[in-house]
Amino acid sequence: MTAARNIARRELRNGFRDGLRGFRVFLACLTLGIAAIAAVGSVREAITEGLAREGATLLGGDASVEFTYRFADDAERAALASLGDVSEIVEFRSMVTVGEDRALTQIKAVDDVYPIYGDLILDPPGPLAATLQGDPPGAAMDPVLADRLGLQVGDMFTLGEKTFRLAARIESEPDNAGGGFDFGPRTLLFTDDLDGTGLIQPGTLYETEYRLRLPEGTDLDAAEARLDQALPDSGYRWRDSRNGAPGIAEFVERLSAFLVLVGLAGLAVGGIGVASAVRAHMVEKTATIATLKTVGAEARTLFTAFALQIGAITALAVVLGVALGAVLPLAFSPIIEDRLPVPAAISVYPLALVEAALYGTLAAALFTLWPLAKAQDIRAAALFREAGGMPAGLPRRGYLIATGVILVTLVAAAAVLSGIPTLTLYTAGGLLAAFLALLATAWATRKAARRLARMDAFKGHTALRTALGSVGGPSGEAAAVVLSLGLGLTVLAAVGQIDANLRAAIQRDLPEVAPAYFMVDIQPDQIDAIRALENDPQVEAVEAAPMLRGIITRINGQDAVEVGGDHWTLRGDRGVTYAEELDEDTKITAGEWWAADYDGPNQISFAAEEAAELGLKLGDTLTVNILGRDIEGEVTSFREVDFSTAGIGFVLAMNPSALEGAPHTWIATIYAEPEAEARILRDIAGDFPNITAIRVRDAIDQVSEILAGVAAAITYGASATLVTGAVVLIGAAAAGTKARTYEASILKTVGASRATILGSFALRWAILGLTSGLVAVFAGAAAGWGVSVFIMDTSFRFAPGSALAIIVGGVALTLVAGIAFAWGPLAARPAQILRARD
């Protein structure tokens, strides 16, 4: 061990004296990969911390209790008041009307206690009560909505059947980030002023929220328990400041997990650079290793010595990467904070850095073990022959097993730490498959190039033939370039294909099958008039269903969340419907639909796919809390429900007698020709001002916009992977300079002009770039197909635009790197180069 340590120390000393020349690509690749993961992790932690710190402001109180389309009754109000100060908020969607113009809005009706925390900033500035006071009553509006309707402060508009005055524009709403995704810009008014609008009727889809200011030092768990005890069957939803914006927190968590996966892909790309660097280093050390063996060094001693050396350089890369990853978010904190819709407490978060360091160390171990293990097989006899690179064949079995163990540990660590194990395994599998495909391609490219170089058709074209000869020749350059660049481009191609398909599914395919309007809050006495729209020649179809909102609270008498876990159907309230007959398009997959005049115990038909995910069986009982009342029923059938067409789809349907008595409204979807949309809206608005019409195209645009943001974030992440690929490429180009200088000198000697030589160099890089790009497009398309078909349940269509960009980009990148390093060899004087080799 002492001998190994001494050898390692001397090697390191020499390395540092030389400015770590052979290890620059190694350091750059590893540092970049670690820094990217550390930076993403740090921003994630910063958002989590920011959300926690600002939880009360985002939530609008220390705790919030939510009811679905009802107000709290007196007993509930009393129970809430016993905990602290209470502020009541009502939220629902409605339509703002200005003359003939109508727009969807999310109404937020508040009391004079609002906001408990944070500041509501209005334009013109002033306290809310004073601003909204007057006759007609005032309302504040999101500037986007006011501008769309052409409203100036002081102008009038109608909500339902009542006129309001635009009193102010909302500059900033402290509790807006917590609400998540809203289909409409905000209109803010006082709850008392809702009287006379006709908007809140039995069955209207609205939510009430009671925000609590708790005495300082209140134990939130104890407060929640107290309320649960006082109101055991109220069907409310409790949230508190520890998780003020759960939707956003989860979104951030998911997005950063994705980005970490992309970062790991970057580390894999960098790993190729690392492996190449170590391999080249060990080849350079052939004489040293052979000499040491001659004087009695054992293989194990040599492995330890060089492993210590590489380990020390890895440690340096980890320190640099972690430092860079910690500093970057701090340096860019003003930009990051400005861009994020949520508060972020940018700081140094040790856990995120440790995670990045762990990935970096494991990746370095994975990619350096193989060349290190091979180097110890160099024989002392190598001294007496021309050094011909590393010995052929696999390393010893122990090292193969160790490589496997490190790989499994790395994937397992990523699966556990990312919180999305399945996707991590898919990603790891995808990367491994891409890696193998690229390896096979590199091999095939070499074979093909060698064969092509000998084809008669290419004889006489010196530049092309020498380029093909070089690609097909015995050096390892082709493999290193195709692997590193190909893997980087594959990640980018996969992101591009997935993004293009997701957008296509939403923007291109969905409007073709989706209805024009989604109408909610239709009173039972209005539904016949809506159905009558079907007689309109420009209306293709009208579908309608009664709509209630309910929370599935129990499964077979047990707490639903305990049985079904974090399934989306159990999160908050869901639409519930009743129907006498089964819709003709719907298929029962198990059990039986109730008879037309069935009047017995309650029966439930559940969506088949979701039932399978929840583990439901026929005969199970479900308890659904609707309007504070528990309704129990037996699952008697499963049916297919397609949620992808934006039509009416209910997870849970019951027999009519179970729900008919409860106050409810109807929802309807109207399928109409695009040019008829405006007229239909005008007609309905005139006749039924309480009905809210959601234009599906608007909703699709909004979803598309969010997706575009997500895709942009992931593309940035994937670009970081490509940067690492570019570093490896530059490393390969730089490493080959010596060989190309030699080649150029010989070619000049036998009469080649510089243009011919440059052409040959450019062609060989273009061939490698084209190959990498083509494989990346195929691998990316395969990944895109997998994600589209298996994860997103949509069809896959190859996106040629993204593919072309990848191929052109691949060729351009290799050409730039290759040509940048061609000038040295081109300018070299052959006499000196050739004589130096004599």
Partner 1 sequence: MSDTILSLEKADLTLDGNAGPVDILKDITLDVRRGETLGLVGPSGSGKSSLLMVMGGLERATGGKVHALGQDLTAMNEDALARFRRSHMGVVFQSFHLIPTMTALENVATPLELAGHADAFDRAAEELSAVGLGKRMNHYPSELSGGEQQRVALARAAAPRPEILLADEPTGNLDGPTGQTIMDLLFDLNARHGATLILVTHAPDLAARCSRTIRLVDGRLDRQAEAAE
**Smallest distance from the beta carbon of 812 to partner 1, in angstroms?**
24
For residues 648 and 545, is the Cβ–Cβ distance under 8 A? yes
Which of 472, 488, 515, 591 touches partner 1 (CB under 8 A)? 472
Which of 747, 758, 776, 817 touches partner 1 (CB under 8 A)? 747
Which of 291, 294, 333, 475 touches partner 1 (CB under 8 A)? 475
Q: Confirm or reject binding of residue 466 to partner 1 (CB under 8 A).
A: yes
As a whole number of angstroms, the distance between CA 50 and CA 412 comes to 29
260-268, 280-288, 814-822, 825-833 -> range binding partner 1 (CB under 8 A): 825-833
Nearer residue to partner 1 within complex by CB, 280 or 410 = 280
Q: Confirm or reject binding of residue 746 to partner 1 (CB under 8 A).
A: yes
Alpha-carbon torsion, ordered 380, 383, 384, 385, to 10 deg: 110
The distance of Cα 575 from the centroid of its chain, to the nearest Å, equals 27
Q: Which residues of 50-71 are buried (b: 16+ CB within 10 A; e: fewer)?
A: bbbebbbbbbbbbbbbbbbbbe
Is the N-terminal amide bond of 124 cis, ω within 30° of 0? Answer: yes
Which of 462, 484, 490, 637 touches partner 1 (CB under 8 A)? 462
Which of 21, 451, 459, 682 touches partner 1 (CB under 8 A)? 459
Nearer residue to partner 1 within complex by CB, 148 or 450 = 450
Interacting positions 388-407 with partner 1 (CB under 8 A): 388
Which of 743, 785, 813, 817 touches partner 1 (CB under 8 A)? 743
**Smallest distance from the beta carbon of 293 to partner 1, in angstroms?**
23
DSSP characters over 40-70? HHHHHHHHHHHHHHTHHHHHTSSEEEEEESS
**Smallest distance from the beta carbon of 395 to partner 1, in angstroms?**
23
DSSP state of 214: P
Q: Confirm or reject binding of residue 596 to partner 1 (CB under 8 A).
A: no
In degrees, to the nearest 5, what angle opens at C-alpha 481 toward C-alphas 430 and 719? 60
Please count the other Cβ atoms lying within 10 Å of the Cβ belonging to residue 796: 20
Q: Confirm or reject binding of residue 750 to partner 1 (CB under 8 A).
A: yes
Nearer residue to partner 1 within complex by CB, 477 or 521 = 477
Picking from 431, 152, 460, the residue whose alpha carbon sits closest to that of residue 265 is 431
**Smallest distance from the beta carbon of 279 to partner 1, in angstroms?**
17
Element (H, E) at 522: strand 517-522
Nearer residue to partner 1 within complex by CB, 10 or 738 = 738
As a whole number of angstroms, the distance between CA 623 and CA 654 comes to 12
**Smallest distance from the beta carbon of 753 to partner 1, in angstroms?**
4
Nearer residue to partner 1 within complex by CB, 639 or 764 = 764
Q: Phi/psi at 202 (nearest 5 deg)?
A: -55, 130
**Smallest distance from the beta carbon of 308 to partner 1, in angstroms?**
32
As a whole number of angstroms, the distance between CA 456 and CA 255 comes to 54
DSSP characters over 538-563? TEEEEEEEEEEEEEEEEETTEEHHHH
Nearer residue to partner 1 within complex by CB, 723 or 834 = 834
Nearer residue to partner 1 within complex by CB, 295 or 836 = 836
Q: Confirm or reject binding of residue 834 to partner 1 (CB under 8 A).
A: yes
Q: Among positive and negative, which fits the CA dihedral 9, 14, 20, 23?
A: negative
Which of 19, 393, 474, 661 touches partner 1 (CB under 8 A)? 474
Is the N-terminal amide bond of 115 cis, ω within 30° of 0? Answer: yes
**Smallest distance from the beta carbon of 388 to partner 1, in angstroms?**
7
Which of 213, 239, 549, 748 touches partner 1 (CB under 8 A)? 748
239-247, 432-440, 453-461, 560-568 -> range binding partner 1 (CB under 8 A): 453-461
DSSP characters over 445-472? HHHHHHHHHTSGGGTT-HHHHHHHHHHH
152-160, 245-253, 457-465, 520-528 -> range binding partner 1 (CB under 8 A): 457-465
Tokens coding 620:
């199970």
Interacting positions 132-191 with partner 1 (CB under 8 A): none
User: Residues interacting with partner 1, by CB under 8 A?
Assistant: 388, 453-454, 459-460, 462, 465-466, 469-470, 472-475, 739, 742-743, 745-756, 829-832, 834-835, 837-838
